[in-house]
Structures are given as C-alpha cells and as structure tokens.
Amino acid sequence: MATIGLDKLYYAKITEDDAGDETYGTPVKLAKAMNADLSVELAEATLYADDGASEIVKEFKNGTLSLGVDDIGASVASDLTGATIDANGVVVSASEDGGEPVAVGFRAKKSNGKYKYYWLYRVKFGIPATNLATKGDSITFSTPTIEGTILRRNKVDGQNKHPWKAEVTEGDSAVAADIITNWYQEVYEPSYATEAAE
C-alpha cells in the first residue's frame, strides 16, 4: 500500500562494548521530517555450473539514507556529524570531524491511515548540505539535507544475524499493540520464538 506521509524522525546514540556490540541510548527527536530516501546496495555472486547459473547469493552490503528536514539544531548536529559546540553556543565544524553512528527511527503514513514504523540500526551521517537563495518575488524555503550510510549492526540477533533494519505495520494482526505504542521509547530489539523457549 502506498505511503502518503512521513513524521516522527528520531535518533538514538550508540555505545559499543569491547567486542563492538551496540547498546542504544534513549531515542530523541532529530528534526521535523520532510522526506526520506532510502536506497540499498547488495553484494551479489553467481555460481555457474553445467553451463548455467547454479546458485545466486544476494546479501545486504550497505545503504544510503538521505533526509530532508526542517532544521538541524546544534546538539543534533554535534551528535550526528561530530561538530563541536563552543563556549558561546556556536556550532563549529572542522575537517577532522566525523560523527559516531546512530540508530534512526521514523514512520510513514499509509493511504489507509495506518503507519509503517522503521528503525535503521546503524547510520553514519556526513555533513548536512544547505541550499541558500536570495529572497525574490516569491518565498522559497531553504532547508538542510543530511545523508548517511546505513550499515548492518555489529551485535547479532537471536538468529545469529546482523540486522540493519526493523519495520512493522500498524494494524497488522500479528503485531502486539505495545510494539507500536513503545516504538520510540527504545530502539526495537528483535525477538524470536526460540529465544523465549530457552
């Protein structure tokens, strides 16, 4: 079903233990979302045998998330890009800056009024792009765009895999209501039936 909206853009800071496994901080509002473009790159391999394709493997390699937002505040810019806020509250970007990866969550409204919710587990952002224009006969809004690379997370889930995205659709009969209600309370952690049986 088609989506007709986008809102509730959040991010959660990541801390890593000695093994590199992620722990997510409490999600906080990133900005008001205008658009989100998500593209995925796959690693592909084909094994040929008996003059034809015998096996084909396609695995997630990485992705790109491009966010159009209304504004990026100082603390968000610091968290996402590694910029420094000086003693006067001014955001100072340096060539040596490099933000730490974060988890990014948002939701997209579907044409039936329900929402599809997302968490991207590990996104490393670059410097936001800004388009500026002089005021002419009409009003033109200039808003920042920030682009990040989506990576799989280091921490394995209950199936010994490295997830890169979680998504759920509101109103799905297989989904408990509290999953949707608590979506922005913490970054969603996959749960499998075999884990509950242990």
For the chain, what are the domain ranges? 3-131+143-184
Q: How much is the pLDDT for 196? A: 46
pLDDT over threshold 80, residue 1: no
As a whole number, mean pLDDT of residues 131-150 equals 64
Cα(137)–Cα(78) distance, integer angstroms: 35
Selection from 125, 131, 117 nearest residue 179 by Cα: 117
pLDDT over threshold 50, residue 143: yes
Instruction: Give me the half-sphere count of Cα atoms (radius 13 Å) on the Cβ side of residue 29.
Output: 10
More confident residue, 43 or 184: 184
Q: Which residues contact 65 (CB under 8 A, 6 or more apart)?
A: 36, 37, 38, 104, 120, 123, 147, 148, 149, 150
* AA identity, residue 153: R
Selection from 45, 194, 169 nearest residue 107 by Cα: 169
Q: What is the mean pLDDT of the chain?
A: 80
- The string of pLDDT tens digits covering residues 4-53 is 667 888 999 999 998 888 999 999 988 777 777 777 776 777 777 777 77
- Number of CB atoms found within 10 A of residue 160's CB: 6
pTM, full prediction = 0.76
More confident residue, 69 or 181: 181
